[in-house]
């Protein structure tokens, strides 16, 4: 069997673990998915290196896959049947579309010659069947028509988006689109009089973000692609999360942008300046704010999870802010950058390197973010320390992991590392709240 085919069958076969979710609580399911992610990036390359395409581990599907499952559990902790349904769309749809698309392509998709009609049809049929089966197995059954509608609609939208020539891994695209649309269709069918879709409010939020994005572009803070990425993420956060969380998004954006622009000419001479004159593009918006946006989707589509997901949102953005401040200001004011794994001194700008000054700036940024979140009543006072701890762990963990992989000779992708640190920051904020602060 060819190596790519082996990868796809492993991808599909992992869905068997989803049938155990029926007997697990959300915390246990999340811990198992997180353990699988750690296993796949640290241990699997040791005994099954042929499953990986190159030296860069974090951006490959075999590493992204369990991370996406863990995210689904975080998004739907009270509705694990929805998490399992999207898992089935990811496993069956993405896996069989590759296997069958190679053998029976039929015709190429006009807007993406790397995709085929045969693969898309296989995606839709197998994803619908898998999602329907997992919905029926793991959760309540309002009606079989309801299950089929939710499974087919989410699978169709995921199949469409999977054909688009996007610069991100299919695992990420399929998971996010599947999660958004299965939540919407599930909610619409159960509660036809109070759906999460309110066209007029979404239109207002879209206009607000279009104006704000245009102003940011004119001021030189974002590129044209950054306007597009910010428009989508900002609209979701304002429409489904409310103005308090939207203000926190802007707090992160303004402080991060100012830190990037501060001393920009000095950073250019050092060779560590951000590209495009410091303008932030869509990849920066997605890398730093995607986890926060997912938390907002959960707030808008899952009953009773507002405070838990608000803590994840704040922890994720606090980690992103801490990481940006520690990096950008540490490059300017850090006197002795070093690797956190070996404490070996290295030049400024080295991947994974930290400095005492930069770390302190990052910690102060996280404290400020948590304080503003409390002032806006986005979180309660007893949860502000959880956000601070989650943010600190998130941005420090990224440096430690990056340094470890650099020592191992593994290639590092900065955007994927930002996704990782925001995921860690949000997760650790929740875990800290549960374990030490009595968060329930």
Q: Are residues 168 and 245 in the same domain?
A: no
Mapped onto helix, strand or coil, the DSSP state of residue 305 is coil
What is the token pair recorded at 303?
Answer: 């009953």
Cα→Cα distances 276→70, 258, 281, 284, 374, Å: 34, 15, 9, 12, 35
The structure tokens listed for 38 are 């750690």
The CA distance from 25 to 31, in Å, is 10
Mean predicted confidence (pLDDT) in 345-361: 83
Contact between 130 and 40 under an 8 Å Cβ cutoff? The reply is no
Same domain as 221, residue 128: no
CA distance 416 to 405: 13
Domain boundary among 190, 224, 258: 190
Instruction: Supply the range of the domain harboring residue 408.
Output: 199-436
Residue 21 confidence (pLDDT):
92
Residue in 126, 440, 136 with CA at minimum distance from that of residue 305 = 440
Shared-domain flag, residues 273 and 178: no
Would you say residue 42 has pLDDT above 60? Answer: yes
pTM: 0.65
- Of 2-11, 61-70, 128-137, 254-263, the range with the highest mean pLDDT is 128-137
Quote the CA–CA distance of 385 and 352 in Å, as a whole number. 26
212 with 176, same domain: the answer is no
Does 312 share its domain with 431?
yes
- When mean pLDDT is compared across 19-28, 56-65, 402-411, the lowest value belongs to 56-65
At residue 59 the predicted structure's pLDDT band, cuts being 50, 70 and 90, is low
- pLDDT on residue 197: 47
Question: Which range in 203-207, 271-275, 355-359 is most confidently predicted, on average pLDDT?
Answer: 355-359
CB 47: neighbour CB atoms within 10 A? 7
- CB within 8 Å of 277: residues ≥ 6 apart: 220, 264
- The pLDDT assigned to 284 comes to 84
Shared domain for 347 and 417, answered yes or no, is: yes
Same domain? For 8 and 135 the reply is yes
Q: What share of the chain is helix, strand, coil (3-state, %, to 5)?
A: 75, 5, 20
Chain segment 232-281, per-residue pLDDT in tens? 888 888 888 888 899 999 999 999 989 888 887 887 777 776 777 778 88
Domain termination residue (choose one: 149, 170, 190): 190
How sure is the predictor about 195, in pLDDT bands with cuts at 50, 70 and 90?
A: very low
Indicate if the pLDDT at residue 18 is higher than 70: yes
The rounded distance, in Å, linking the Cα atoms of 421 and 426 is: 9
Q: Locate all alpha helices (DSSP H) within 139-262, ordered by sequence.
A: 144-162, 170-190, 199-218, 224-241, 243-261
Q: What is the DSSP letter of 428?
A: H
pLDDT of residue 193: 42
State the Rg of the chain over Cα. 21
On whether both 215 and 316 belong to a single domain, the answer is yes
Q: How far is CA 335 from CA 136, 151, 265, 403, in A?
A: 59, 55, 18, 19
Q: pLDDT band for 192, please (50, 70, 90 cuts).
A: very low
- Relative orientation angle of helices 26-38 and 61-75, to the nearest 10 degrees: 160
Shared domain for 380 and 281, answered yes or no, is: yes
- Three-class SS of residue 343? coil
Residues contacting residue 398 through CB under 8 Å, at least 6 positions apart: 319, 323, 417, 418, 420, 421, 424
In this prediction, residue 172 carries a pLDDT of: 81
Do 174 and 209 share a domain, yes or no? no
Number of domains in the chain: 2
Q: Give tens-digit pLDDT for 305-344.
A: 678 888 999 999 999 999 999 988 988 887 888 888 888 8
| Cα–Cα distance measured from residue 395 to residue 231, given in angstroms and rounded to the nearest whole number | 25
Q: What is the pLDDT of residue 143?
A: 78
Strand partners, 338: 345, 354
The answer on pLDDT for 408 being more than 90 is no
- Select from 190, 207, 241 the last residue of a domain: 190
Q: 209 and 180, same structural domain?
A: no
**What is d(CA 222, CA 233) in angstroms, rounded to the nearest whole number?**
14
* pLDDT single digits (tens) 85-142: 999 999 999 899 989 988 888 888 887 888 899 999 999 999 999 999 999 999 888 7
121 and 17 co-located in one domain: yes
């Amino acid at each position: 069997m060819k190596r790519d085919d082996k990868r796809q069958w492993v991808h599909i076969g992992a869905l068997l673990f989803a049938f155990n979710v029926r007997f697990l609580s959300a915390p246990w399911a999340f811990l198992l998915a997180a353990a699988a992610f750690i296993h796949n990036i640290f241990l699997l390359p040791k005994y099954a290196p042929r499953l990986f395409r190159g030296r860069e581990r974090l951006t490959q599907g075999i590493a992204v896959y369990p991370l996406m499952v863990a995210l689904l559990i975080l998004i739907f902790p009270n509705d694990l049947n929805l998490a399992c349904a999207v898992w089935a769309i990811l496993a069956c749809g993405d896996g069989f579309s590759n296997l069958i698309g190679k053998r029976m392509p039929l015709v190429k998709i006009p807007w993406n010659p790397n995709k085929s009609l045969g693969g898309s049809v296989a995606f839709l049929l197998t994803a619908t069947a898998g999602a329907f089966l997992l919905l029926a197995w793991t959760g309540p059954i309002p009606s079989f028509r309801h299950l089929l509608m939710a499974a087919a609609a989410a699978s169709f939208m995921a199949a469409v988006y999977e054909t688009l020539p996007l610069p991100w891994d299919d695992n990420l695209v399929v998971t996010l689109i599947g999660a958004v649309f299965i939540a919407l269709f599930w909610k619409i069918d159960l509660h036809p009089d109070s759906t999460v879709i309110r066209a007029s409010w979404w239109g207002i939020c879209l206009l607000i973000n279009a104006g704000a994005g245009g102003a940011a572009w004119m001021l030189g803070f974002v590129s044209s692609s950054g306007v597009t990425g910010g428009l989508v993420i900002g609209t979701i956060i304002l429409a489904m999360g409310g103005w308090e969380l939207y203000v926190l998004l802007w707090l992160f954006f303004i402080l991060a942008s100012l830190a990037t622009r501060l001393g920009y000419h000095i950073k250019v001479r050092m060779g560590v300046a951000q590209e495009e004159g410091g303008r932030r593009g869509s990849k920066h918006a997605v890398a730093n704010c995607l986890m926060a946006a997912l938390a907002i989707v959960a707030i808008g589509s899952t009953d009773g999870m507002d405070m838990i997901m608000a803590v994840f949102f704040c922890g994720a953005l606090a980690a992103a802010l801490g990481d940006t401040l520690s990096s950008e200001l540490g490059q300017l004011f850090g006197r002795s950058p070093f690797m956190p794994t070996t404490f070996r001194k290295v030049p400024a700008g080295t991947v994974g390197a930290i400095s005492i000054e930069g770390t302190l700036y990052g910690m102060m940024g996280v404290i400020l973010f948590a304080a503003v979140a409390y002032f806006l009543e986005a979180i309660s006072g007893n949860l502000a320390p959880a956000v601070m701890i989650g943010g600190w762990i998130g941005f420090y963990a990224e440096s430690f992991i990056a340094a470890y992989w650099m020592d191992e000779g593994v290639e590092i992708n900065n955007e994927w590392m930002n996704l990782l640190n925001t995921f860690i920051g949000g997760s650790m904020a929740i875990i800290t709240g549960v374990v030490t602060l009595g968060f329930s």
